[in-house]
Structure 1
Amino acid sequence: MKANYSYASAIFNADFNNFARISVNQAWSLFFTLGKNDAALGDNPEVGKFFTNVTIAIVAASILGSCIFTSI
């Protein structure tokens, strides 16, 4: 018996992806919508890459800033 609940997260539906690989856009869409919609960012792969690169830049800037300002 398959149940497709509209109020539940997309990842808990039986027909979500059957252990298939998801794209970067799907991962960020699930993150931003708290697991409700995996197509919120669309099909453009550049959007997912943008959010990934912004996250990497924030982490790198934080590490570099903490190294610089703790040595002063």
Structure 2
Amino acid sequence: MRTDYDFKNSSLFGPVAFRPEFNNFEQINVAQAWSLFFTGSNEDKIFDSRPETGRFFTQVAGVTVLAVAVWGTFFTGI
């Protein structure tokens, strides 16, 4: 069995956020941000084929914060 893989690159198995080609202060989109969040910075392209998934998670997080604020306002007993 012959393999032609070159695994000598030390940043190959490390987190994406610390790779030299990623960390150039470039803008990332919402899908990449949620991909990094859910994979613990190991992958930034799991939601790239569907960018609306990133917007969905952002809206769910916003609605959750709003619901908790409304709940706290009406049911605190003050």
Q: What's the TM-score once normalised by structure 2's chain length?
A: 0.79
Distance 1:7 1:28 in 2: 20
One-letter amino acid of the counterpart of residue 8, structure 1: G
The partner residue of 1:30 within 36, 55, 65 is: 36
CA drift of 1:19 comes to 1.6
Which runs of 5 or more residues in structure 2 are unaligned? 1-8
- Taking structure 1 as reference, are residues 22 and 4 closer, same or farther at Cα in structure 2, changes over 3 Å only? farther
Q: What's the TM-score once normalised by structure 1's chain length?
A: 0.85
Distance 2:10 2:56 in 1: 32
Alignment of 1:1-72 (within 5 A): 4-16=10-22, 18-71=24-77
One-letter amino acid of the counterpart of residue 40, structure 2: L
CA drift of 1:6 comes to 2.7
Percent pairwise identity: 40
One-letter amino acid of the counterpart of residue 53, structure 1: Q
Structure of higher CA gyration radius: 2
Distance 1:67 1:42 in 2: 38
